Structure 1
Amino acid sequence: MTRDQPPARKPPRRVTAQYLENAALHYLQRFASSSASLRRVLMRKVDRSAQAHGTDPAEGARWVEDLIARYLRSGLLNDTAYAEMRAASLHRRGTSTRAIREKLSAKGIGRDEADRALETLDEEVEGDLNLTAALALARRRRLGPYRLPEKRAEFRDKDLAALGRAGFAYDIARRVVDAEDPDSVE
């Protein structure tokens, strides 16, 4: 091997039902996942194997669907619990409800399940979801009442824009940025 040539890439393993099960279990040990995300990961392995070894992608897809159905029945995969956990995590980081819905949708969570997850979160959180999330984002990014007092007026518009880009309504962004201290936000 010379310097001009990149190292040769190892060919993917031939996909079998047992290989997919091992890969799925390993993936689920490392990451919380929705059934759609796990399906995407496993189908990528099936497609790579089909290209490299000429295996039947339809057979691999059947194995993946059987595996996911079995994991859903056994409770190893639970889209509702995943949606609730992910929504709570995103809310703590300061993500707006609109952005939470979009991120859950990108992970393959349906609109109804996303709405249920947000309803559950709303029951657990005191106050308005978007307001508490905006305060969390302001704290994390040091915006509005978390900024040094002498710099607040100078950065007011930038702070409003940052909250707007994060998906918060102008009214909520204005209430957070113009608050004297975080506790004074109604």
Structure 2
Amino acid sequence: MTTKRPPSALDEDRLRELALRYVGRFATSRAKLLAYINRKLQERGWQGAAPPDPAGLVERLCELRYVDDSSYATMKSAALSRRGYGARRVAQTLRADGIAESDRAEADTQTQNDSWTAADRFARRKRIGPYAQAQPDPKQREKAIAAFIRAGHSYDTARRWTDAPPGEPPDPSES
């Protein structure tokens, strides 16, 4: 029977290697990287001569452009839009990932431009409105509208897609 040896405490070199490995594997934001580093310090402890500087390490990786919040926000918003999520849901996700307002400008613009396409993808994925087999009863209609709203779309968009007859997608130019 072998016993699992606890991981050794971190020093400056090990902490940097840990951060680089994380950045190499995952697209991440400053806040998520800082949370990861702090969690690893808490789990493994510190044995370096000087106190750890996780914020300094994150800043250094940002200077080297290994971490770029603006690019991360653009990439994440595009991925969420492709899955059919609306602007409100995308903004909530970026806030939760620690992206500052100034880094979200391009992502917000992209999300607004893709909002109708995202609603179409959501309706197609959930088989709502024009992608349903039949017109829903009032209770199913309310559930479909609620699903659209939870996905971050506006009530108007949700209503237009839900009320569209099967086989006839709504016209994006109508308001």
Identity of aligned pairs, percent?
34
Q: Which runs of 5+ in 1 are unaligned?
A: 2-6
Per-residue CA distance 1:82-109 (angstroms, 9 max, x = gap): 0110011111111111111111011110
Counterpart pick for 1:103 among 93, 109, 112: 93
Distance 2:22 2:69 in 1: 16
Does structure 1 residue 14 correspond to structure 2 residue 4? no
Q: CA RMSD in A?
A: 2.4
- Alignment equivalent of 1:184, drawn from 157, 160, 170: 170
Q: Is the 8 A contact 1:34 1:78 kept in 2?
A: yes
2:51 counterpart of 1:70: no
* SS in structure 1 of the partner of residue 7 of structure 2: coil
| Aligned with residue 136 of structure 2, among 149, 153, 171 | 153
Structure 1 residues 171 and 76, CA, compared in 2 at 3 Å: closer, same or farther?
same
Which amino acid is the alignment partner of residue 106 of structure 1? A
The answer for unaligned runs of 5 or more in structure 2 is: none
- State the SS of the aligned residue for 2:117: helix
Whole-Å separation in 2 of the counterparts to 1:98 and 1:147:
25
The verdict on how the C-alpha distance between 1:80 and 1:121 changes in structure 2, with shifts beyond 3 A counting, is same
* Structure 1 pair 118–169 and aligned structure 2 pair: CA distance change class (3 A): same
Task: Kindly state the Cα deviation for residue 78 of structure 1 after the two structures are TM-superposed.
Answer: 0.6
Q: Is the 8 A contact 1:176 1:185 kept in 2?
A: no
User: Against the structure 1 CA distance between its residues 182 and 100, is the aligned structure 2 distance closer, same or farther, given a 3 Å change threshold?
Assistant: farther
Listed as ranges, the matches of 1:24-173 within 5 Å are 24-50=19-45, 55=47, 59-60=51-52, 62=53, 64-122=54-112, 125=113, 129-149=114-134, 152-154=135-137, 155-173=140-158
The whole-number CA distance in structure 1 between the counterparts of 2:51 and 2:168 is 56
Q: Is the 1:90–1:100 Cα contact (8 Å) retained in structure 2?
A: yes
Deviation string, structure 1 residues 35-84 (Cα, Å, up to 9, x no partner):
1101100110111223xxx647x822x1x222211111111111110011
Letter in 1 for 2:77: A
TM-score by length of 2: 0.83
Residue 59 of structure 1 aligns to a residue in which SS? coil
**What TM-score comes out, normalization by structure 1 length?**
0.79
Q: Which has the larger share of helix? A: 1
Over 3 Å counting, the alpha-carbon distance change for 1:90 and 1:10 in structure 2 is farther
